Structure 1
Amino acid sequence: CAAEATLVPPTPRPDQERVQIADLEIVTGQTIYVPAYSDIYFDTNKSLDLAITLSVHNTDLAHSIVLTSVRYYNTQGQLVQEFISQPRPLGPLEAVDFFVPPSDEAGGVGANFIVEWGAEQPVYEPVVEAVMIGTITSLGFSFTSPGRVISQTGTVGE
């Protein structure tokens, strides 16, 4: 049952600093739309449940970025879950992932994530993508869905 499924936020690192958005002087950032699929149709009325891993990779070699929001929406555009409750810094070349188990059917075939990030200096933009995996009988498969920038603040890149 979708109401009983538990979405899994990332485990915080013990050394992870707490960041308050009011303490940041954001000069650049983006809002990124990431299509995801918690299930897909393989016949007219039959669908296959998929596991989703949303990955956010800071590609900058020298500077941190800060995730300010990671939201998961269903096919109807309704919020299913906010994955972070406070800003989450990502150091140079650091990555973080967010997992939606295949037992969660709340997202549907039109699920998506909205990821918002910022930085206190110009940085190279992160790579944000969803990886979906599933199995049917003895066959396993996977595919990715890249994020798309839908709004931007300041200059990205150096």
Structure 2
Amino acid sequence: MRSGKPAKSLSAACGILLAMTGMACSTQPPEQLPATIVQQEATLQPVSLNPEKIIDGQTVYVPVYSHIYHHNNPRNAVNLSATLSIRNTDAEHAIIITAVRYFDSEGEMIRQDITEPSKLGPLASVSFFVAANDVSGGAGANFLVDWVAETAVSEPVIEAVMISTSSSQGISFVSPGRVVKQRDVAP
């Protein structure tokens, strides 16, 4: 070095960096730490369904992938976990979920997750999980979700999120639901 100034500047920069690092690592009292994020979902409430009061509803098809193929070979598959999410977007009114059915690639029902009509409150969400090691659905699996309402409501958002974090790789994507049947509104 030609003079002591660059060395002093470098020393000062290192000192500031160390001080900032020390501040970032300092412990805070528990009351100042951010709140822990807890997984929380709405609880579905079983309800009696009066067909005469129903004025809105849909059947929604949601593609789900138990696995996807890679490396130009169908024998190379990555298993995926899937979360079906049903979100009531109406701020004032509940919707009633009447069926959540999971089907395989052949169109055969694997399971039914709702056994009785269940109310999902305003702005509430509920999800249904398919584990990564459950490959019974195959690459062409899907959910059919039936919902109704006793008053006009905004459409719920119904979608599936698939994810895999195996090895050092990670993949995730969303599959939106598509309305396949619209309930006729009563006059």
Q: Normalised by the size of structure 1, how large is the TM-score?
A: 0.85
Residue 86 of structure 1 and its aligned partner are, at CA, apart by 0.7
Residue 91 of structure 1 and its aligned partner are, at CA, apart by 0.6
Aligned-partner residue type, residue 118 of structure 1: V
- The total of aligned residue pairs comes to 143
Residues 80 and 132 in structure 2, CA contact (< 8 A), matched pair in contact too: yes
Partner Cα separation in structure 1 for residue 95 and residue 78 of structure 2: 35
Deviations 1:18-76 (A, max 9, x none): 31224772111000000010111013121111000000000001100000000000000
Q: CA RMSD in A?
A: 1.7
Deviations 1:88-114 (A, max 9, x none): 111110000000000101000000000
Higher strand proportion: 1
- What's the secondary structure of 2:126's corresponding residue? strand
Q: Unaligned stretches of 5+ in structure 1?
A: 1-10
Q: Unaligned stretches of 5+ in structure 2?
A: 1-40
2:150 equivalent to 1:120: yes
2:106 matched to which residue of 1? 76
2:136 equivalent to 1:103: no
Aligned counterpart for 1:31 among listed residues 56, 59, 62: 59
Residues 42 and 126 in structure 2, CA contact (< 8 A), matched pair in contact too: no
Deviations 1:108-151 (A, max 9, x none): 00000000000001100000000000023211121000000001
Higher helix proportion: 2
Q: Using CA pairs below 8 Å that are at least 6 residues apart, which structure has the higher relative contact order?
A: 1
Larger Rg: 2
